[in-house]
Amino acid sequence: MSVQAISDPIVSSEADPLILVDENDEAQGVLDKAACHDGDGLLHRAFSVFIFNEHGEVLLQRRAEGKRLWPGYWSNSCCSHPRAGESIEEAAQRRTAQELGLSCVLTPLYAFTYHAWFQDLGAEWEHCHVFVGQLTGPRPRVNRHEISAWRWITPDTLTQELAATPERYTPWLALEWATLQGEHRSALPKALGAA
């Protein structure tokens, strides 16, 4: 669905302080987002959220065109970074509300580190915590500064689209979806009423 919001709050900027971490996710200080993404990037803490509806479909967002890295690419429901002094769970809830206008129980599943480059504009090097949630309430009300479009998609269709047109999707989505469909498949929300 296209986004038609008129005035949304700005909830992120290149000046946001991100938490630098080592390979064990131990905090190593704080640095602004722009510097964390310059060149090859610096390892920092992040999270990704996958929200499912009562039909077992997953919510995807299309990143706003104003994003520095992967603008206009389809990605998972929500992804961002915690602030200094904020738990990863608090950050995931905060950004899900800010970007999607949603509140639901989010369950942490696993964490991993990945490194990906976007043209010559910078890189993501993140220790990323992956959450899943199931929505039974209202539709998303997205923030247009973060999201240009959104849609619900069945897991099978997402798997097929990632195989057929991977260039339309963010690299972390592809990595996370493969893991969710593999070793964490039994932990994914099912359609309500399903056996």
Q: What is the pLDDT of residue 51?
A: 96
Query: In terms of residue numbers, what domain contains 79?
Result: 17-184
In the structure, what pLDDT confidence band is assigned to residue 68 with cuts at 50, 70 and 90? confident
* pLDDT at residue 195 greater than cutoff 50: no
List pLDDT tens digits, range 100-109.
999 899 999 9
The answer to whether residue 2 sits within a structural domain is no
CATH code: domain of residue 118: 3.90.79.10
Overall number of domains in the chain: 1
* Annotated catalytic residue within 78, 79, 104, 128: 79
The answer to whether residue 120 sits within a structural domain is yes
* pLDDT at residue 11 greater than cutoff 60: no
Q: Residues 6 or more apart from 47 whose CB is under 8 A from it?
A: 79, 80, 81, 82, 88, 91, 92, 95, 128, 129, 130, 131
* Annotated catalytic residue within 124, 126, 146, 176: 126
78 is a catalytic site residue? no
Measured CA to CA, the distance from residue 40 to residue 95 in angstroms comes to: 25
126 is a catalytic site residue? yes
The answer to whether residue 166 sits within a structural domain is yes
The answer to whether residue 101 sits within a structural domain is yes
* pLDDT at residue 186 greater than cutoff 80: yes
The answer to whether residue 112 sits within a structural domain is yes
List pLDDT tens digits, range 112-149.
999 999 998 899 999 999 999 998 777 888 888 889 99
Model confidence, pTM: 0.89
